């Protein structure tokens, strides 16, 4: 048995309010193995992004991680890291592609400068070395190095999203977190991006925490899937089990409300 | 696409952004018709021109070529009264239920405004009754929802408000541009059922724009597939989905998430993505009928 790259133990996160606190994550525990693609699914507002931000240590007040929670990356508790350790942790250990990341590139910088920014902050590098590394990273996501001199608005949405992923891979993280990385894109572009991620994680060995609403897509790419409901992780299983024999009623209901592309359509009573 | 006369139609409409080398055909020779009591789905590539088609219908853009027909008559040089009638007959529901509602105003205010504009004769209490009726129609409890602000509602509830607001002016046509892409599966189905009910009960004509082809099949009788400004394939829903003829449609359908197929065993279409993309972007003026209600624009061969 290898050691998990990520181990979340009894994670409790509240949003602190003026009068009452909102309990967003209620005692969640799960592991991700090195190289594994782990999917996290569940209704809007169930706490998926809150967990993603906590794991990458990007959570901000009013979010408060309660005492007793543990987030171990490679065996080290990331909740106890000081500022210096955090700087070394981000990008090298865990990198995150945000919901709507394709709009997060700096519009006034060329693609090359965006790579240089990250590489320079975290490593001793020259411009030449950074350019060579950036070209190599772009090739990983099927983008020609000619694009280094382009600005974000000159690239399509799918291309911008792949650039963000390439930047996230710049420092060889052990865990890549992707929060709804392809929601606004057509299914062909979505498929190209995720197929690329699937190949890269096998080639480079990083693990992925993948968040989406689309259960069918999740079953296609994930090794294991966790289903969340109102802050609780209600079911964790390998992808085929989640699809063929879901255990929790909520997982069954999710499947029952997915319209079909061919054959008999779902019945209306599926909604409640 | 059916025997009745269309309520609204685009006839060989083109819309070009930019000039010279950087010109983009966001619509190239686009024709389609909307019928009362029916839904037409529009799917396709990101950036292919779907929202542009919606904006042409909403008259936010005017066509560079071609015409918009409303109840059979061209709208271009119509008089002010015809335009006003058109404006209240054709309503739009947007993708993002967060940004389309004003956070400073209550739900009651959001619905009161369109009613004041389009039925100025109503008294205060009649207007309140009309609001209650609209909210009931979209399956919300008027007593609870009326005094609330948008941020106090969930995404699905907000999208219902957008639909109620569109219905407030008694439209004949609703254009919905990705109305459920921000919502999760269980909420999404509620909105789709609501659209189906509106169509049946109020005889509305719907244009449903989406990236989610399975939901398109759930709400629409007919479908169009768009690539690079052109409608490359269109017709009866199951004929197109079960027997796709245009290479881009096949590519698109092969990429629809399917839990029965692992990513590792990708289809043949995916190996040819770049070839299909390059050729599908060329002008495809010819139209070929492949079944009774099923058409494509065949791709030209390379190098022609
Ligand atoms: N800054 C905040 N202050 C108060 N409550 C918050 C804050 N951010 C999030 N929440 C609440 O915490 C809960 C979990 O939010 P989170 O963003 O993690 O959901 P999610 O599962 O990612 O949803 P989605 O699928 O819509 O992205 C929600 O009910 C949300 O309203
Ligand atoms: N106002 C504008 N000025 C210049 N170009 C535009 C304008 N609006 C759209 N375009 C271009 O026209 C093309 C079609 O855009 P449109 O928004 O209609 O695509 P879409 O099919 O709705 O895409 P998505 O699926 O991403 O929503 C794109 O290349 C876009 O960049
Ligand atoms: Mg989220
Ligand atoms: Mg659009």
Tell which residue, A237, A236, A229, has the closest CA to residue A253: A229
Positive or negative, the CA dihedral B39, B92, B253, B196 is negative
Nearest-CA residue for ligand 2 atom 2 is B17
Residue with tokens 């999208």: B159
Q: Give domain status of residue B252, yes or no.
A: yes
B241 is in which domain, residue-wise?
234-304
d(CA A101, CA A91): 15
Residue B163 covered by a domain: no
Ranges of residues in chain B whose predicted pLDDT is under 70: 1-3, 78, 97-98, 182, 264-270, 302-304
* ipTM of predicted assembly, 2 dp: 0.86
Regarding beta strands B205-209 and B39-44, do their DSSP bridges make them parallel or antiparallel, or are they unpaired?
parallel
Output the pLDDT for position A19: 87
What pLDDT was estimated at residue B139? 84
CA atoms within 13 A on the CB side of B74: 10
Give the pLDDT score at A185. Answer: 83
Q: What is the mean pLDDT of residues A217-238?
A: 95
What pLDDT was estimated at residue B304?
43
CB atoms within 10 A of CB B181: 17
pLDDT given for residue A257 in this prediction: 87
Distance A158 CA to ligand 3 centre (A): 20
CA distances from A19 to A16, A59, B47 (A): 8, 21, 45
Give, using CA atoms, the residue closest to atom 27 of ligand 1.
Answer: A44
Nearest CB neighbour to A257, from listed B155, B185, B264: B185
Which DSSP helix (H) or strand (E) runs through B14? strand B8-17
In degrees to the nearest 10, what's the CA dihedral of A203, B277, A104, A226? -50
**Distance from residue B92's CA to the centre of ligand 2 (Å):** 17
Query: Separation of B187 CA from ligand 1 center, angstroms?
Result: 16
Q: Is residue A209 very low, low, confident or very high in pLDDT (cuts 50, 70, 90)? A: very high
Distance CA A253, CA A255 (A): 5
Instruction: Report which ligand 2 atom has the smallest distance to the Cα of B50.
Output: 21
Distance CA A3, CA B276 (A): 44
Determine the pLDDT at residue B124. 92
Answer whether B47 sits within 8 Å of A157, measured CB to CB.
yes
Backbone dihedral angles phi then psi of residue A194, each to the nearest 5 degrees = -75, -35
Percentage of chain A modeled with pLDDT above 90: 64
Domain boundaries, chain A: 6-256
Locus of tokens 């599908």:
B280
Domain count, chain B: 1
Please check the confidence at residue A40 and state whether its pLDDT lies above 80: yes
Cβ count within 10 A of residue A136: 12
- pTM equals 0.89
Q: What angle do CA A231, B147, B116 make, to 5 degrees?
A: 130
Q: B211: which chain A residues are within 8 Å (Cβ-Cβ)?
A: 184-187
Residue nearest to atom 3 of ligand 1 (CA): A15
CA–CA distance, A164 with A111 (Å, rounded to integer):
10
**What is the mean predicted confidence (pLDDT) over A194-204?**
91
Would the CB of A46 count as within 6 Å of ligand 1?
Answer: yes
Q: Say if ligand 2 is within 6 A of residue B52 CB.
A: yes
Domain A6-256: CATH class, spelled out: alpha beta
Query: Is the separation of the CB atoms in B283 and B262 below 8 Å?
Result: no
- Tell me the pLDDT tens digit for each residue of B160-215: 899 999 999 999 999 999 888 767 777 788 888 988 998 999 999 999 999 999 99
Residue B61 Cα to ligand 2 middle (Å): 12
d(C-alpha B49, C-alpha B55), whole Å: 10
CB atoms within 10 A of CB A106: 11
A103 — pLDDT class (breaks 50, 70, 90): confident
**pLDDT of the residue at B303:** 46
Answer yes or no: do B47 and A190 touch at CB < 8 A: no
Q: Does B46 touch chain A (CB under 8 A)?
A: yes
Query: A130-156, pLDDT tens digit by residue?
Result: 999 999 999 888 888 999 999 998 888
Mean pLDDT of the region A209-229: 93
- Candidates A43, A155, A187, partner chain B, best to mutate (most B CBs within 10 A): A187
Within the 22-51 window of chain A, which residues sit less than 8 Å (CB to CB) from chain B? Answer: 43-45
Ligand located closest to B231 CA: 2
Bridge partner list, A26: A12
Contact B121, B179 (CB under 8 A): no
> CB–CB of A48/A235 below 8 Å?
no
């Amino acid at each position: 048995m290898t050691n998990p790259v990520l181990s979340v133990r009894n994670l409790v996160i509240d949003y602190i309010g003026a009068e009452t606190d909102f309990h967003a994550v209620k005692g969640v525990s799960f592991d991700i193995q090195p190289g594994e693609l782990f999917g996290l699914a569940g209704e809007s507002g169930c706490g998926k992004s809150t967990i993603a931000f906590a794991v990458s240590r990007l959570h901000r007040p009013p979010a408060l991680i309660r005492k007793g929670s543990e987030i171990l990356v490679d065996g080290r508790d990331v909740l106890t890291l000081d500022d210096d350790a955090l700087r070394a942790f981000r990008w090298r250990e865990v990198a995150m592609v945000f919901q709507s990341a394709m709009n997060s590139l700096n519009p006034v910088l060329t693609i090359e400068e965006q790579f240089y920014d990250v590489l320079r902050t975290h490593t001793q590098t020259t411009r030449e070395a950074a350019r060579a590394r950036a070209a190599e990273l772009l090739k990983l996501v099927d983008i020609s190095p000619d694009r280094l001199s382009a600005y974000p608005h000159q690239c399509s949405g799918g291309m911008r999203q792949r650039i963000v992923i390439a930047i996230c891979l710049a420092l060889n993280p052990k865990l890549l977190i992707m929060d709804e990385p392809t929601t606004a894109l057509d299914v062909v572009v979505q498929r190209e991006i995720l197929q690329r991620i699937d190949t890269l994680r096998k080639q480079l060995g990083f693990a992925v925490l993948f968040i989406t609403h689309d259960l069918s897509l999740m079953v296609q790419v994930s090794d294991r899937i966790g289903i969340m409901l109102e802050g609780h992780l209600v079911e964790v299983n390998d992808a085929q089990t989640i699809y063929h024999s879901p255990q929790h009623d909520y997982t069954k209901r999710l499947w029952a409300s997915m319209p079909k592309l061919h054959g008999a359509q779902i019945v209306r009573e599926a909604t409640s | 696409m059916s025997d009745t006369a269309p309520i609204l139609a685009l006839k060989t409409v083109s819309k070009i952004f930019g000039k010279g080398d950087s010109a983009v055909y966001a619509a190239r020779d686009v024709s389609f018709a909307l019928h009362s009591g029916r839904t037409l789905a529009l799917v396709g590539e990101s950036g292919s021109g779907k929202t542009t088609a919606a904006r042409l219908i909403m008259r936010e853009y005017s066509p560079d070529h071609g015409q918009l027909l409303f109840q059979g008559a061209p709208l271009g040089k119509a008089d002010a009264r015809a335009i006003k009638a058109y404006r209240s007959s054709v309503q739009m529901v947007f993708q993002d239920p967060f940004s389309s509602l004003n956070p400073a105003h209550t739900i009651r205010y959001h619905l009161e405004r369109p009613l004041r504009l389009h039925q100025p004769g109503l008294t205060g209490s009649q207007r309140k009754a009309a609001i209650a009726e609209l909210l009931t129609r979209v399956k919300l409890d008027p007593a609870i929802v009326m005094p609330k602000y948008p941020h106090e509602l969930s995404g699905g509830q907000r999208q219902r408000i957008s639909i109620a607001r569109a219905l407030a002016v008694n439209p004949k046509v609703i254009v919905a541009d990705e109305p459920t892409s921000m919502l999760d599966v269980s909420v999404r189905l509620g909105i789709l059922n609501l659209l189906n009910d509106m169509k049946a009960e109020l005889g509305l004509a719907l244009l449903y724009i989406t990236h989610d082809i399975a939901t398109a099949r759930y709400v629409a009788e007919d479908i169009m597939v768009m690539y690079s400004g052109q409608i490359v394939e269109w017709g009866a829903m199951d004929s197109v989905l079960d027997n796709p003829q245009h290479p881009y449609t096949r590519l698109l359908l092969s990429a629809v998430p399917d839990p029965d197929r692992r990513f590792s065993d990708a289809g043949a279409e995916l190996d040819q993505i770049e070839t299909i993309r390059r050729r599908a972007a060329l002008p495809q003026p010819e139209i070929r009928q492949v079944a009774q209600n099923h058409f494509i624009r065949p791709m030209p061969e390379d190098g022609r």
